[in-house]
């Protein structure tokens, strides 16, 4: 009787999660997969086949955009890590109590406004008539107005900015758990700042680094708004291509195929990333 | 002195925002000796150790290692190693990499690191565990690995920050002897800080008792135990029964005082003889108090007092009996002899206690 009741409770508690997984993730993906392997042979006539995937490999624009997106996302991840690590180290190890909370909160505050507004903020700063251009003209560094928007650099800046919090949070958590006496022991045994970072701090922070990198990489790869707004019409971001297939071209079949290729790409890169850093997914995400 | 001391502190002082943690500390540790700093928690001993290691900077004074001033020398440049309170072994490395860490920093070739790590592990009695992880070691093994990690660098001074604190009692007793043996084996100067007086007494060649940032007394274990310099040392090192009262009579160094409970007792003042009417304290070790079933003639100021047994604390050879004064209820601890008539001693029995005044120590009470 008791076990029956506790079983019922277990399934009731599990129900929202199952509903969410099945209806919002598994079912749509099954649907999209069926669409992606349907080739259009005539009006409202479809055949099962991998033709949509073949289009991707035969058209250089598509797979080049794909490679470019992957490369830029990896660069964003590396850049975010390089910028986020010192910030996280400072927050976790060099500040105490109130200052720590304040600094952590200051990293969080920009995320209270939507991504769209934040991206527009960067547009105000970087556009031809924007703050940066005007300032450089005022100080005499440049003669005329310069357009800082609509290039890869601008995309990168925007992507790093939107995702750095997701790097800092796991890093602060893992660095917080590093016992200060380990660092002191390292110094005491004659280690320099660099060797302690390499041999003690980074190995300890590895799960945080990897989980931060996975999140940032996924966010950048799947980002649509930032590359389109800051990169303009030449941004050539893979999510942009998917959007075009679905909304502009009404080619759901090709769009779905692209979607699955993106899923495959991100999973492969994360897999190799984990192999390279010798971490397991459950280690990094299960904390 | 023919040889320069390994470690020397001159007027070392450390001020924090609103208090003085270490107050004009002076001491010299000769080469190859085991020096302990003993004090209650919060007495400044950790601050002192961290200054020696280089993690904190003295406000004033000087610190010399082998005659060289260490002021302004960073911790990684000092010829000192430290065994941390929780050992601070690196969990991300195996034993070999842990012990080899310091040698790698010095750029020692990896083949030599391998042989030196093997040799030091043999010396601490753990040969062949190079490939194990830290988590696979027992508490005592971790301790020895932590010492090996320091000793492989052949430091002039090894600092130990209460490393036995986390071990259970049995292992702690064992490690005390082990540490002393290791120190003799390596013939390195050990500076050991602890709040546990038995650790300090057992292992050290020389002990400094620290209280409120100052060194109250530096001496051998015997000196501290039998000739404490002040009431703090007398109360902190070893067990002692403390009596407080007003001085009523003086006979050379023998002081008589009357306690608040109205008992007159005698003790010897070795440092500063109080004046009549002053408040003073007398400390009596539990093992110098004699028990007898009959009254002891009070001819030589034997401090003979009739008491009632309050409790018997049986602990083998360390058995104690708590006696209580029938009038005032004042309690004292006495070592119970493990022979003869006192084995049958039970609650409520009446016994007579006595001690020679020369075996009790009298100190003037601190003026508050």
Residues above pLDDT 90, as percent of chain A: 25
Residues A187 and A79 in one domain: yes
A88, pLDDT greater than 90: yes
Is A41 inside a domain boundary? no
Q: Could A190 and B85 be called an inter-chain contact, meaning their C-beta atoms sit closer than 8 Å? A: no
Burial B204-223 (b: 16+ CB within 10 A, else e): bbbbbbbbebbbbbbbebeb
- Would an 8 Å CB–CB cutoff place A182 in contact with chain B? yes
Q: Give the pLDDT confidence score for residue A37 in this predicted structure.
A: 87
Of the candidates B54, B76, B84, the beta carbon closest to that of A181 is on B84
HSE value, Cβ hemisphere, 13 Å, CA-based, for A247: 6
Contacts of B86 in chain A (CB under 8 A): 179, 181
CA–CA gap between residue A125 and residue A119 (Å, rounded): 10
Q: Is A243 contained in some domain?
A: yes
Does residue A46 form part of some domain?
no
Partner-chain contact B84 A184, CB within 8 Å: yes
Rg (CA), chain B: 25
Section B250-273 average pLDDT: 83
At B179 the pLDDT is 87
Q: Residue A249 falls within a domain, yes or no?
A: yes
pLDDT at residue number B138: 87
Please determine, for residue A116, whether its predicted confidence score (pLDDT) is greater than 80: yes
Using CA atoms, how far residue B37 sits from A249, A276, B98, B159, B209, in Å, is 81, 49, 28, 11, 6
In sign, the C-alpha dihedral spanning A216, A222, A225, A227 is positive
pLDDT of residue B368: 45
Residue A189 is nearest to which of B54, B81, B92, comparing CB atoms? B81
* A43 belongs to a structural domain: no
For residue A113, count CB atoms less than 10 angstroms from its CB and return exposed for 0-12, middle for 13-18, buried for 19 or more: exposed
Residue A217 domain-assigned (yes or no): yes
Task: Give the range among A282-286, B177-181, B343-347 with minimum mean pLDDT.
Answer: A282-286
Q: Does pLDDT of B198 surpass 50? A: yes
Q: Taking all residues of chain A, what is their mean pLDDT, rounded to a whole number? A: 87
Chain B interface residues facing chain A, Cβ-Cβ under 8 Å?
53-55, 74-77, 80-82, 84-86, 88, 90-93, 101-102, 104-106, 149-150, 153
Min mean pLDDT across A92-96, A160-164, B167-171 is at B167-171
d(CA A275, CA A272): 5
Same domain flag for A138 and A56: yes
ipTM of the complex: 0.79
Q: Which helix (H) or strand (E) holds A154?
A: helix A152-176
Residues A144, A24: one domain?
no
CB–CB contact A188 B153 (8 Å): no
Number of domains composing chain A = 2
Specify the pLDDT at position A285. 65
Instruction: Indicate the helix (H) or strand (E) that contains B161.
Output: strand B157-161
Domains defined for chain B, CATH in brackets: 7-232 (3.40.50.300), 239-364 (2.40.50.140)
**Mean of pLDDT values over B177-203:** 88
Instruction: Indicate the range of A132-136, B175-179, B292-296 predicted with least confidence.
Output: B292-296
Q: What is the pLDDT of residues B302-335, one digit of tens each?
A: 777 888 888 888 887 788 888 888 777 788 888 8
Residues β-bridged to residue B57: none
Query: pLDDT value at position B1?
Result: 45
pLDDT at B360: 87
CB contact under 8 A, A203 and B149: no
Query: Is A180 in the B-facing interface, judged by CB distances under 8 Å?
Result: no
Residue A217 has pLDDT above 90, yes or no: yes
Q: Are residues A93 and A232 in the same domain?
A: yes
| Average pLDDT of chain B, as a whole number | 86
pLDDT digits (tens, 9 = 90+) for B131-170: 999 988 888 888 889 989 998 998 989 999 988 877 788 8
Q: What is the 3-state secondary structure (H, E, C) of B30-75?
A: CCCCEEEEECCCCCCHHHHHHHHHCCCCCCEEEEEECCEECCCCCH
Confidence of residue B70 (pLDDT cuts 50, 70, 90): confident
Mean pLDDT of B43-58: 89
**Model confidence over A15-66: pLDDT tens digits?**
999 999 898 889 999 988 888 888 877 777 778 878 888 888 888 888 899 9
Candidates B51, B52, B85, B92: best to mutate against A (most CBs of A within 10 A) is B92
Let me know if A241 is exposed, middle or buried by CB neighbors in 10 A (0-12, 13-18, 19+): buried
Q: Which of A37-46, B30-39, B71-80 bottoms out in mean pLDDT, i.e. has the lowest?
A: A37-46
**Chain-centre distance of CA B61, in angstroms?**
25
Q: Per mean pLDDT, which range of A277-281, B95-99, B330-334 is the poorest?
A: A277-281
What's the pLDDT at B367? 52
Same domain, A20 and A105: no
First CA to last CA across chain A, in angstroms? 36
Which whole number is the average pLDDT over A150-155? 88
Q: Examine the domain organization and report whether A149 and A14 are in the same domain.
A: no
Tell me whether residue A45 is in a domain: no
Structural domain boundaries enclosing A235: 51-285
Flag whether residue A202 sits within 8 Å of chain B, measured between CB atoms: no
pLDDT for residue A1: 54
Q: Name all contacts of A170-173 with Cβ < 8 Å and 24+ positions apart.
A: A170/A207, A170/A208, A170/A209, A170/A211, A170/A212, A170/A215, A170/A287, A171/A84, A171/A85, A171/A88, A171/A89, A171/A92, A171/A205, A171/A208, A171/A209, A171/A212, A172/A88, A172/A91, A172/A92, A172/A104, A173/A208, A173/A287
How far from chain centre, in Å, is Cα B321? 25
pLDDT of residue B305: 81
pLDDT at B296 exceeding the cut of 80? no
From A196's Cα to the closest Cα of chain B, the distance in A is: 10
Q: Is position A253 within any domain? A: yes
Q: Do residues A24 and A83 share a domain?
A: no
């Amino acid at each position: 009787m008791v076990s029956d009741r506790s079983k019922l409770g277990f399934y009731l508690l599990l129900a929202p999660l199952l509903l969410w997984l099945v209806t919002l993730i598994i079912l749509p993906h099954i649907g999209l997969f069926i669409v992606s392997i349907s080739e259009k042979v005539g009006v409202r006539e479809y055949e099962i086949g991998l033709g949509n995937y073949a289009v991707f490999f035969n058209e250089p624009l598509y797979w080049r955009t794909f490679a470019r997106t992957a490369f830029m996302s990896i660069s964003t991840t590396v850049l975010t890590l390089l910028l986020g690590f010192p910030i996280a180290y400072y927050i976790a190890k060099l500040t105490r109590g109130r200052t720590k909370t304040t600094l952590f909160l200051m990293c969080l505050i920009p995320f209270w406004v939507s991504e769209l507004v934040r991206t527009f903020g960067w547009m105000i700063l970087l556009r031809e008539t924007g703050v940066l251009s005007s300032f450089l003209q005022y100080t005499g560094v440049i003669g005329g107005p310069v357009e800082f928007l609509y290039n890869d650099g601008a995309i990168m800046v925007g992507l790093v900015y939107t995702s750095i919090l997701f790097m800092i949070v796991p890093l602060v958590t893992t660095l917080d758990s590093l016992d200060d006496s380990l660092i002191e022991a390292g110094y005491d045994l004659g280690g320099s700042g660099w060797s302690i970072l390499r041999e003690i701090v980074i190995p300890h922070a590895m799960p945080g680094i990897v989980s931060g990198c996975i999140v940032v990489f996924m966010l950048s790869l799947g980002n649509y708004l930032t590359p389109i707004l800051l990169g303009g019409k030449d941004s050539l971001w893979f999510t942009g291509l998917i959007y075009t297939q679905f909304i502009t071209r009404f080619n759901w079949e090709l769009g779905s195929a692209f979607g699955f290729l993106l899923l495959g790409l991100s999973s492969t890169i994360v897999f190799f990333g984990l192999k390279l850093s010798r971490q397991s997914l459950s280690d990094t995400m299960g904390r | 002195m023919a040889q320069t001391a390994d470690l020397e502190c001159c007027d070392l002082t450390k001020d924090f925002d609103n208090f003085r943690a270490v107050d004009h500390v002076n001491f010299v540790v000769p080469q190859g000796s085991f020096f302990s700093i003993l004090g209650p928690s919060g007495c400044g001993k950790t601050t002192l150790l961290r200054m020696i290691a280089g993690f904190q900077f003295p406000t004033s004074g000087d610190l010399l290692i082998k005659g060289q001033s260490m002021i302004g020398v960073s911790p990684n440049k000092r010829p000192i190693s430290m065994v941390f309170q929780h050992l601070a072994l690196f969990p991300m490395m195996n034993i070999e990499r842990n012990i080899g860490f310091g040698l790698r920093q010095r750029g020692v070739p990896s083949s030599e690191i391998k042989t030196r790590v093997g040799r030091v592990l043999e010396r601490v009695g753990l040969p062949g565990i190079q490939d194990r992880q830290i988590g696979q070691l027992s508490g005592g093994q971790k301790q020895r690995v932590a010492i090996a990690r320091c000793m492989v660098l052949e430091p002039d001074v090894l600092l130990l920050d209460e490393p036995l604190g986390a071990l259970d009692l049995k292992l702690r007793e064992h490690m005390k002897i082990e540490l002393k043996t290791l120190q003799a084996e390596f013939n390195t100067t050990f500076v050991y800080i602890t709040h546990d007086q038995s650790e300090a007494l057992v292992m050290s060649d020389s002990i400094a008792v620290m209280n409120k940032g100052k060194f109250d007394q530096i001496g051998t274990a015997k000196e501290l135990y039998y000739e404490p310099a002040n009431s703090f040392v007398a109360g902190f090192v070893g067990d002692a029964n403390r009596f407080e009262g007003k001085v009523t009579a003086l006979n050379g160094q023998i002081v008589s005082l009357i306690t608040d409970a109205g008992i007159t007792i005698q003790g010897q003042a070795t440092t500063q003889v109080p004046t009549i009417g002053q408040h003073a304290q007398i400390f009596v070790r539990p093992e110098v108090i004699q028990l007898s079933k009959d009254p002891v003639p009070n001819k030589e100021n034997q401090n003979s007092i009739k008491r009632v047994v309050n409790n018997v604390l049986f602990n083998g050879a360390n058995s104690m009996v708590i006696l209580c004064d029938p009038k005032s209820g004042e309690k004292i601890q006495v070592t119970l002899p493990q022979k003869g008539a006192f084995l049958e001693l039970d609650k409520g029995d009446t016994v007579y206690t006595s001690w020679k005044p020369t075996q009790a120590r009298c100190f003037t009470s601190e003026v508050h």
